[in-house]
Amino acid sequence: MEFALFLTRNDKTVADCLELFPQFQVLGLRHFGFKDVGVEYGTLQALADAIHAAGALSYMEIVSAAKNECLRSAELAAQLGVKRLLGGTHVKEIQAVLVGTATQYFPAAGIPVGHPVRLEGSVPQIVDDCKRFMDQGCAGVDLLAYRSTDADPLELVEAARKVVAPGGLIVSGSVGTQERIRAIREAGADMFTVGNAVLDCTYLPNETSAVEQARAMLRDVDAS
């Protein structure tokens, strides 16, 4: 299992993302992401370019649930050359936007609502979404397991694992402890995203360096 470090806080890209990225790059992290809100287009383009120049994979996660805004986000991802687009539920329309690009799509299973986002939907409903996404040719699924209001997070991961293609199960949101990292790995997650726990220095107790927070998480993921 691996993780993508999102330069985000409370589901928004942080204003100093361009200054932060080189600090984390030296750790050898291979996956970096951002949200489609929080900073202007030029900053997002510069960040995506920096991620690609470093030989890492870029991720962008859609925040809005509104169809027109999701499509605008997909267009933005294509313009930025983002390698993996996460979120959104309007699968066919977003796929149409991404035709001919190198952007892989991982839609959100269930019903994402609010901001910061929470996830509505039962286990059977979310599994049905996962099956449908695979049938529609998506690269995988963005699963907001620990933001769920209606289901046990680990039951969601275990159930999704049974229908999502290998390498395609990404758990997003609130994976900020050693226990949760270990639990989702055992449940079958391929990857998770993290932002607040690193940037706010809450993952490793008594450590005020976000870089050291990421280093500790990297070490724990390798050891888990």
Domain boundaries, the chain: 2-223
Confidence of residue 224 (pLDDT cuts 50, 70, 90): low
2-223: CATH architecture: Alpha-Beta Barrel (3.20)
Q: Could you tell me the CA-to-CA distances from 27 to 65, 135, 170, 177, 217 in Å, in that order?
A: 34, 37, 21, 19, 11
pLDDT, greater one: 24 or 113? 24
The 10s digit of each residue's pLDDT in 121-135 is: 999 999 999 999 999
Q: Nearest 5 degrees, angle CA 133-CA 135-CA 139? A: 55
pLDDT of 118 reads 87
pLDDT, the chain, mean: 95
Whether 115 shows a pLDDT value over 90: the answer reads: no
In the chain, pLDDT over 90 holds for what percent of residues?
Answer: 92
Place of tokens 């270990």: 182
Whether 41 shows a pLDDT value over 70: the answer reads: yes
Query: What is the helix, strand, coil percentage profile of the chain, to 5?
Result: 45, 20, 40
> Mean per-residue pLDDT for 185-192?
97
Q: What pTM value is reported for the model?
A: 0.95
Please give the backbone phi and psi of residue 47, each rounded to the nearest 5 degrees, phi first: -70, -45
> Mean per-residue pLDDT for 31-35?
97
